[in-house]
Amino acid sequence: MRLSWRASKKYTFLRFFLKVFSPVLTLASTLIAKMIINTITSIKYEVNIILILLIQMIIKMLCDFLLYFQNYISIVHDECLKNKINIDVMHIGTSVGIQYFDDPEFYNSIQRVQNDSNSIINVIGNFFDIINYLFSFFISIRFVLNINWIYLLLLLLTAIPSSIYNKVLSKKIYDLNLQQTNKERERAYLYSITLDKNVSEDIRFYNFGKIIISKYFHISNNIFKEKKLNYKKRTAIIPLLDTLVYFNMSILLYSIICDIYKGTLTIGDYILYSNLIEQLVNCVYHISSSYIQIYDGKNKIKNIKKFFERKYNYKVDGNIEVKKFLSLEFKNVSFKYPNCEKYILKNMNFIIKRKEKVALIGLNGAGKTTIIKLILGFYDVDEGEILINGFNIKRIKYQSLLNLFSMCFQKNMIYGFSMKDNIQLFAKNNNVLLSNALDKSGVDIIVSGLKDGIDTLITKKFSSNGIELSLGQCQKIGLARMLFRFKEVFIMDEPTASLDPESENDFFSYIDNMKDKTIIFISHRLSNLSVANKIFIIEDGKVLESGTHNYLISNSSRYKEIYMSQAERYIK
């Protein structure tokens, strides 16, 4: 309920008020029906029948209005709740340490939140329903107690067994759902890749679409088989238990008919009491059903609360403000990714000074990209320390640290936004930086051929006027993103791997002419190393050798071997 109140105080109060008020109108409608029947069956009209009918019409109109108004309030309130839950999840997703995205259990917990988030809405809805049915119950029982309280008690008691059985079964089904989370995630993944444009070419070329569908079908069957038995039990046993309730209801109604024959009750009383008895039974069922759903939902909410209340490792902010880059040092740094035994970096040492251009080279998996992730503070080192201007980066304010860098990642994410928003990523407008970024990255050539120019949407998912970019064009967007930021240190991870030779040459010529920036880049194309005045050979998690191209080609057999393996292709 705290979540409901935080999502919307107004709609929480309105739902409570309407649930309390609606049973009063229902009772009034039933009493009016009794009066109409008694008036029709009596010899003398003791009251004005037209007035009674007019009151009945007004009550019916109020009931109808209340029903639609309740539905409207519930829909709006539910939307407020969904938005609140989704925004809370998004806050966690955008602020927790990146190491959580290496943990399968984190994805499982997100999947559970996504699956169970409706449970919070249902629990809140069921809570308000219980309030409604409790008021209806006490109003009804106030009148029905006048008949035969023993039969009434038996009627209510016979409704309890099915409620208890339903509760036990719901718990079993929910426990089974928890066990199946990983299977559900795998099934959702298989479904998503059949509709993913990035995968569509592979599926058609390698013709494995039917295999994916078969895997999906197999997992779905296994999931359903495990649930089917519990659903069968519910279908078979609950109706049998409910038979007792209907039997006792019939006995109670029979006693009312007997009293009518005796003259102690009227036909109108039968209408009143039969409606109230049915309402009583429905209230018991709905209260128990709502309670079971709340109980079932509470189990799901425990997982959601566990997700939100988990002690996440957020980036601990330091207290040192760094406004200018002077040096970067790795001092005996060792690192392994979460839940992995193997160290990616082991006792690594190097220094990069202001305005140096440094290239990191080595085989795939040597740890080059990991070095960049550590520089950016995405992960904490296991041993040693990383120093910026002589300060351990843990002591530096995180935003201050990031403000030193412009970054071109190995994977250039393209979002379903306009081209301008993809480059600026919602940073403050700066036409000078934007113009330079478009020019030096080559994106200006792409923009020049577009009807909507820089405001063109980079996706066709949301608009037929959108465009789809080639891999090389996507890389140019990534370069423009880095150049627009234009900080003191440029870090690039394979920045031109998908570019044509001419574009690649133009870009590195621009980088070569940058005299006031520090450049750190990874490249497997060793022809690009000509812009670097320092080269680090990364191997087995360490800096194997370092120096200029001329120094290494003369003194390092490993560098010469790597360099010549590419150079010979051009010589031939």
Letter for the amino acid at 280?
L
The Cα–Cα gap between 437 and 12 comes to: 50
Most confident of 156-170, 304-318, 413-427: 413-427
Confidence check: pLDDT of 513 > 80: yes
For the stretch 81-93, pLDDT in tens is 778 777 887 878 7
Instruction: Find out whether 524 and 496 touch, Cβ atoms under 8 Å.
Output: no
Which pLDDT belongs to residue 396? 93
The two beta strands, 489-493 and 534-539, are unpaired
Burial class, 367, CB count within 10 angstroms (exposed 0-12 / middle 13-18 / buried 19+)? buried
Mean pLDDT for the stretch of residues 171-178: 75
Confidence check: pLDDT of 45 > 60: no
Confidence check: pLDDT of 43 > 70: no
Confidence check: pLDDT of 166 > 80: no
For the stretch 425-444, pLDDT in tens is 888 899 999 999 999 999 99
* Residue in the structure block whose two tokens are 């190995």: 410
Mean pLDDT for the stretch of residues 540-567: 86
Which pLDDT belongs to residue 391? 94
For the stretch 361-407, pLDDT in tens is 988 888 999 999 999 988 899 999 999 999 999 999 988 999 999 99
For the stretch 143-154, pLDDT in tens is 777 766 676 677
Report DSSP state, residue 321: -
Confidence check: pLDDT of 125 > 80: no
Q: Which of 529, 524, 505, 508 is nearest to 565 (CA)?
A: 524
Comparison of pLDDT for 197 and 472, the residue scoring more: 472
Which pLDDT belongs to residue 169? 76
Letter for the amino acid at 118?
N
Helix (H, G, I), strand (E, B) or coil at 57: helix
CA R_g for the chain: 36
The Cα–Cα gap between 151 and 139 comes to: 18
Comparison of pLDDT for 195 and 326, the residue scoring more: 326
Which pLDDT belongs to residue 240? 77
Confidence check: pLDDT of 537 > 70: yes
DSSP-assigned states of every residue in 364-433:
TTSSHHHHHHHHTTSS--SEEEEEETTEEGGGB-HHHHHTTEEEE-SS----SSBHHHHHHTTPPP-HHH
Which pLDDT belongs to residue 93? 78
**How does residue 46 score in pLDDT terms, banded at 50, 70 and 90?**
low
Which pLDDT belongs to residue 3? 64
Share of the chain above pLDDT 70, in %: 91
Q: At what angle do helices 209-262 and 181-194 cross, to 10 degrees?
A: 120
**How does residue 284 score in pLDDT terms, banded at 50, 70 and 90?**
confident
Which pLDDT belongs to residue 321? 93
Mean pLDDT for the stretch of residues 112-131: 75
Which pLDDT belongs to residue 103? 76
Comparison of pLDDT for 422 and 129, the residue scoring more: 422
Which of 130-139, 340-349, 409-418 shows the lowest mean pLDDT across its residues? 130-139
Share of the chain above pLDDT 90, in %: 27
Which pLDDT belongs to residue 524? 84
Confidence check: pLDDT of 303 > 80: no
**How does residue 290 score in pLDDT terms, banded at 50, 70 and 90?**
confident
Confidence check: pLDDT of 208 > 80: no
Q: What is the 3-state secondary structure (H, E, C) of 129-185?
A: HHHHHHHHHHHHHHHHCCCCHHHHHHHHHHCHHHHHHHHHHHHHHHHHHHHCHHHHH
The Cα–Cα gap between 238 and 227 comes to: 17
Instruction: Find out whether 345 and 333 touch, Cβ atoms under 8 Å.
Output: yes
Q: What are phi and psi of 66, to 5 degrees?
A: -60, -40
Confidence check: pLDDT of 334 > 90: yes
Mean pLDDT of the chain: 82
Confidence check: pLDDT of 202 > 70: no
**How does residue 47 score in pLDDT terms, banded at 50, 70 and 90?**
low
Mean pLDDT for the stretch of residues 208-227: 83
Which pLDDT belongs to residue 314? 59
Confidence check: pLDDT of 313 > 70: no
Residues in CB range of 88: below 8 A, 6 or more apart:
308
Which pLDDT belongs to residue 120? 72
Confidence check: pLDDT of 509 > 90: yes
Q: Which residues pair with 522 in a beta bridge?
A: 360, 493
Which pLDDT belongs to residue 99? 78
**How does residue 449 score in pLDDT terms, banded at 50, 70 and 90?**
confident
Which pLDDT belongs to residue 220? 84
Q: Which of 158, 152, 129, 153 is nearest to 273 (CA)?
A: 152
Which pLDDT belongs to residue 369? 92
Which of 173-182, 213-222, 470-479 shows the lowest mean pLDDT across its residues? 173-182
